Amino acid sequence: MPKIRLFCLPYAGGSSLFYGELKKYLRPEVELCAIDLKGHGMRMGETPNVRMKDALDDVCEQVRKVGTDWPFALLGYSMGSTLAYHLFFRLREQGLAPKHIFFMANTPPYVPDDAVPSSQLDDAAFLEGLSALGGLPQELLESKELLNLFLPIMRADVQLEEGGAVTGPAMIDCDMTIVYSSQDDQNGQMEQWRKCAGGSCDFHRFEGTHFFMLDHYAEVAEIINCVF
């Protein structure tokens, strides 16, 4: 079976480290390439992008550096799903086509996601909204120093995702897999992904919070392995 590269895009405030555990369970034929956005992970010293165009320019450059000489796929988690949606069309303009896209823990960008707090909220309300999603370590919430570092990055990411909203679906002409939690789909909005599906569109649901993958790395990896 040919080898495939899986470019993974992070959730708001997240980094490539989120995918380290997932890599352990993937088949050897799948090369996981986790991307750090500006201001995240190994790029903490850089200023985060708040415009979708700028973020896509940066991600495309990273994808080109890794290489598209092998077949490749995209995976986005939460905000990363919004990035993956827009990245598909940017890559297609360049004559590049992913074999598959995994959209995880997010509704499509043409469906409002009320669970994500607005970037314009005050700090207390913004943090409360993020905490409701799960995944925030207690030591972060209790450290003023860490919060002062973390909040501007989170606000930039939420602003970035807000700027990625679109008025209606555009057709994605490759197969898609949608993976989400019961918390992500309280209003049945995940079905809206079918509206942009130009190929197959499979759904996998987990019980739990927005960050379900933290408890289900092996199961999520098996979903990916079965595709390739």
Which pLDDT belongs to residue 115? 63
- Bridge partners of 33, per DSSP, are 7
CA angle, residues 207, 15, 104, in degrees to nearest 5: 35
Looking at domain 4-227, what is its CATH homologous superfamily? Alpha/Beta hydrolase fold, catalytic domain (3.40.50.1820)
Q: Where are the domains of the chain?
A: 4-227
- Bridge partners of 64, per DSSP, are none
**Does 125 have pLDDT greater than 90?**
no
The CA distance from 119 to 157, in Å, is 9
Residue by residue, what is the 3-state secondary structure of 93-158?
Answer: HCCCCCCEEEEECCCCCCCCCCCCCCCCCCHHHHHHHHHHHCCCCHHHHCCHHHHHHHHHHHHHHH
Which pLDDT belongs to residue 87? 98
Q: For 147-167, how does the pLDDT look when each residue is reduced to its tens digit (9 = 90+)? A: 788 888 988 998 999 999 999
Which pLDDT belongs to residue 193? 97
Mean per-residue pLDDT for 124-146? 73
